[in-house]
Structure 1
Amino acid sequence: MEKVDWHKNHIDDSTLITDSYKTTQNVRRYFKSKYGDNFKFNRDFMLWMKSATGLTMGDAWQEWVKRKNSK
């Protein structure tokens, strides 16, 4: 699996979540571009992201929406 620099690389829906995943401002910008300024990380979602190796950021976005809508 190709290493991603989570601080610098362009992130889009097809970006693979790697075992080097980090919650960075760049990742936050990606999610805010999808949902707007109301996007917030929470502990459960951050843990999910750490275990999502091999999925895409588009998959992560869908998971976040699913969690947001279930509240």
Structure 2
Amino acid sequence: MTGFDWHADPIDRDTPITPTYRNTQNVRRFLTAECGTGFEFDRAFMAWIKDGAAKTMGDVGDEWQRRHAADA
């Protein structure tokens, strides 16, 4: 089995974060759709995504929204 292609494979809320995860334009499109046009990466958030804990892209979108709820 080949790894998930973060550049081209479809991403949905159930897509697991894999060891090959990358912050690609495909990921950015998904997270902008989930979180709104104000979505942006920062170092602390990127570190959280890649911390090795099991999570999905839905978890990532939810966490970004949680971290930015006070900004709304």
TM bracket, shorter-chain basis: 0.7 to 0.9
Count of aligned positions: 70
Indicate the RMSD between aligned Cα atoms, in angstroms.
1.7
Name the CA distance, whole Å, in 2 between partners of 1:59 and 1:52: 13
Q: Given the two structures, how large is their TM-score scaled by the length of structure 2?
A: 0.85
1:53 CA drift (Å): 4.7
- Moved segments of 4+, more than 6 Å: none
Residue by residue over 1:28-62, the C-alpha shift from the partner in whole angstroms, topping out at 9 and shown as x without a partner, is: 00001112221111111011111155311011111
- Which structure is larger by alpha-carbon Rg, 1 or 2? 2
Report sequence identity in percent: 43
TM normalised by structure 1 equals 0.86
Q: 5+ unaligned residues in a row in structure 1: which ranges?
A: none
Equivalent residue, structure 1, for 2:65:
65
